[in-house]
Amino acid sequence: MIGLNLVYAVAGIAFAIFALLSVRDRRFANAAFYALITVSFLFGDMLGDVANGVLVLALVGIAASGQMRRAEAVAPAEDRHGAKVFVPALVIPAVALLGTLAFKHVPALVDPKQATLVALTLGTVIALVLCGTLLRARAAEPFVAGRGLIDDIGWVAVMPQMLASLGAVFALAGVGEVVGELIGAVIPAGSVIGGVLAYALGMALFTIVMGNAFAAFPVMAAAVGVPILIRQMGADPAVVAAVGMLAGFCGTLMTPMAANFNLLPAALLGLKDKYAVIRAQVPTALPLLAFNILLLYGMIA
């Protein structure tokens, strides 16, 4: 059955090529970083938990060393293809959509849970082939351009996965239960507004700390969402989950820990203030958080 095995294989091969290109250009820290990601994608299942943990620590060490270098600016190539340059880019979402719908009807061939990722991967491969046939690009060109982009992104590329993993670790470690006991001792019994404030503000604050609302959700759901809002106050689980995530997303707008959303755009745009995106988003995030608190309260009270 085709599933994440295909996605990991294609991603691993891409990062292996990035590593080789970095060695060629004597960017050895970048090469080591991409090589470790390659090992994770291609052989992660074989390494075991301890070895994968060491691999992650090595990635963090390389990123923290400050030795990873951004790609040198390259002058844009002369446009000789007109509107045809958009075809490969448009093929990716088209194949992703059609593949997702089609693969769900062949569960014996493609894992239904991973249909979208498999279709997206196939769309990317087809787009690469089109770059060669339709645009006459050399085989190495897409990877050279991709390596330049991933050099600009740097260590931020793996931050979402690490933060999501951190949320799972917190949930397994029982952090949610501990936080729930602390909050339960503060919130007056039966106080809807107290429970709503603890849950929504907790989602925003944990997201600010962890950089990812998906990482914060299992902690706050175990601490407040399920035991207090759903069980004690009879709130609709779908409402608690949906509005809680929206409150978490408000935290995403205000934290550098969400580096892929907030620091990466500043880096790619060459902004002098790397926190400029966050400063621009805070005036929107705070009213949205207040609205989500009022919304959740109104749907429970």
Whole-angstrom Cα distance, residue 255 to residue 243? Answer: 19
DSSP annotation of 187: S
For 29-43, 135-149, 177-191, 221-235, which range has the lowest pLDDT when averaged over its residues?
177-191
Residues 146 and 194 in one domain: no
Q: Which of 272, 253, 164, 171 is nearest to 204 (CA)?
A: 253
Place of tokens 């082939």: 129
Residue 151 is encoded by which pair of tokens? Answer: 């050099």
Q: For position 294, what pLDDT does the model report?
A: 95
Residues 27 and 65 in one domain: yes
| Number of domains making up the chain | 2
Alpha carbon distances (Å) from 31 to 19, 26, 63, 147, 240: 4, 8, 12, 10, 44
- Give the domain range for residue 246: 174-300
Q: In this structure, is residue 166 part of a structural domain?
A: no
214 pLDDT band (50/70/90 cuts)?
confident
249 pLDDT band (50/70/90 cuts)?
very high
Which residues are CB-neighbours of 192 under 8 A, at least 6 positions away? 233, 297, 300, 301
Residue 152 is encoded by which pair of tokens? Answer: 């600009």
Q: Max alpha carbon distance in the chain (Å)?
A: 70
Name all contacts of 100-108 with Cβ < 8 Å and 24+ positions apart.
108/1
Torsion angles phi and psi, residue 253, rounded to 5: -70, -15
Q: In this structure, is residue 228 part of a structural domain?
A: yes
pLDDT in tens, 123-152: 999 998 888 888 787 888 888 888 888 887
Whole-angstrom Cα distance, residue 242 to residue 248? Answer: 10
pLDDT, averaged across the chain = 86
Most confident of 49-58, 122-131, 288-297: 288-297
Q: In this structure, is residue 168 part of a structural domain?
A: no
Whole-angstrom Cα distance, residue 274 to residue 252? Answer: 16
DSSP annotation of 113: G
Whole-angstrom Cα distance, residue 209 to residue 56? Answer: 20
Whole-angstrom Cα distance, residue 22 to residue 2? Answer: 31
Q: For position 72, what pLDDT does the model report?
A: 67
Q: Which of 73, 65, 260, 86 is nearest to 148 (CA)?
A: 73
pLDDT in tens, 77-113: 666 667 778 888 899 999 999 999 998 888 888 888 8
Place of tokens 């997702």: 100
Residues 29 and 122 in one domain: yes
Q: Which of 152, 97, 102, 91 is nearest to 125 (CA)?
A: 91
Inform me whether the pLDDT recorded for 48 exceeds 70. Answer: yes
Q: Three-state SS for 70?
A: coil
Task: Specify the pTM.
Answer: 0.71
Number of Cβ atoms within 10 Å of the Cβ of 241: 15
Whole-angstrom Cα distance, residue 235 to residue 226? Answer: 9
- Pairwise pLDDT comparison (265 vs 249), residue with the higher score: 249
CB–CB of 292/243 below 8 Å? yes
Residues 179 and 225 in one domain: yes
Looking at 154, 186, 215, which one is the last position of a domain?
154
Q: Which of 176, 251, 166, 172 is nearest to 219 (CA)?
A: 176
- Pairwise pLDDT comparison (175 vs 239), residue with the higher score: 239
Residues 144 and 17 in one domain: yes
CB–CB of 252/163 below 8 Å? no
Residues 271 and 146 in one domain: no
Residues 22 and 146 in one domain: yes
Residues 111 and 187 in one domain: no
